[in-house]
Amino acid sequence: MNRLKRFIAPALCAALLSGAVQAEQRTLRVYNWSDYITPEALNNFKRDTQTQLVYDIFDTNEALEAKLLTGNSGYDVVVPSNMFLAKQIQADVFQELDRSKLPNWQHLDPKLMKLLEATDPGNKHAVPYMYGTVLIGFNPAKVKAVLGDNAPVDSWDLIFKEENISKLKQCGVALLDSPGEIMPIALHYLGLPPNSTDPKDYEKAEALLLKIRPYIAYFHSSKYMTDIANGDICVAVGYSGSFYQFGNRAKEAGNGVVVDMRLPKEGAPIWFDMLAIPKGTKNPEDAHAFINYLLRPEVIAPISDLVGYPNPNKDATGLVAAEIRNNPNLYPTAEAQTRLYILEPLPHTVERARTRAWTKIKSGT
């Protein structure tokens, strides 16, 4: 009897340890942008798969990249923007996706997938999650008070013409703290390639931005959202969905602030946030399962409803709230799409020149 107990005890311990290891393996670690998914999506995935979920957030691509380039981010699924994704693929950060584990790939819009091959040839490493544009958000009442009824809110002239922005200074103008997005807008406004590799072009963009620098309150990639919803600024260059989200927050607060937006008629950058699996992931199976889950039309559509961004799922568009899918500033029309441009990674020498220019612009010197 005692001998049997001695035999059973180690076997039982081994079984328990095995179960503990399996439980550890069933923990999925996700690193995503803040305010970028519904709680229901997370809760339902955990319920349906019996997977523990560690869900952390970041607010800049640079913060994510710093973790990825260490070689051991600790995450199983991450959400870089497409321009950063291209550089990270070159750095061999991600593993290739196993399409056999992504049957819901069929729902993706082939036109958008073709566009994304510029940063991920063959769409081997990532799946688009949401996309959007960089455009102009504004407080209609405050802009009208400063510039009158004919304020060019549908044009980059609102920002880049000194006669406009100098007046808007009194109610506050903010720009993204993002040379990879603001500099291409300035280049395109000047009639230059937004992804130019000529350092001299960046000197011209720098001169344009330095000219309007005295009238810009600050550069920040998230502060403008709260400020425009509170009425603390009147104009911002930011992400399309952020103006939708924080316009709704202003309504909920009942503070009398209205937030509107316009996709400038000259065109604007289109960006994609991508779902990717870092090399060294501890849980590639559940990482694929999570991505495949987010490719379900009935899952991704409510996320678009919450965040105000279009998703690349062609079979989900009809499920997205009409106020979003019928808003041409959120879901660009076919005609507007012809004036959108995707941002591409630059050679290191040009990237350094752009970074130096941005440092001067922010300091105003």
Do 56 and 144 share a domain, yes or no? no
> 3-class SS at 150?
coil
Beta-carbon contacts of residue 197 (< 8 Å; ≥ 6 apart): 346, 347, 350
CATH of the domain at 120: 3.40.190.10
pTM of the model: 0.82
Nearest-CA neighbor of 245 among 22, 38, 2? 38
Beta-carbon contacts of residue 348 (< 8 Å; ≥ 6 apart): none
Name 238's bridge partners. 135
How many distinct structural domains can be found in the chain?
2
One-letter amino acid of 122: G
Do 242 and 356 share a domain, yes or no? yes
Do 117 and 155 share a domain, yes or no? no
Q: How far apart are CA 164 and CA 223, in angstroms?
A: 23
The per-residue pLDDT for range 74-100, each reduced to its tens digit, is: 999 999 999 899 989 999 999 999 999
Which domain, by its residues, includes 236? 133-270+344-363
Do 301 and 207 share a domain, yes or no? no
* Residue 43 scores a pLDDT above 70: yes
Q: How confident is the model at residue 285 (pLDDT cuts 50, 70, 90)?
A: very high
Do 48 and 172 share a domain, yes or no? no
Average pLDDT over residues 48-67: 92
Do 71 and 154 share a domain, yes or no? no
Do 280 and 251 share a domain, yes or no? no
Do 243 and 254 share a domain, yes or no? yes
Do 323 and 250 share a domain, yes or no? no
Do 266 and 276 share a domain, yes or no? no
Element (H or E) spanning 174, and its range? strand 173-175
Do 18 and 83 share a domain, yes or no? yes
Average pLDDT over residues 129-158: 97
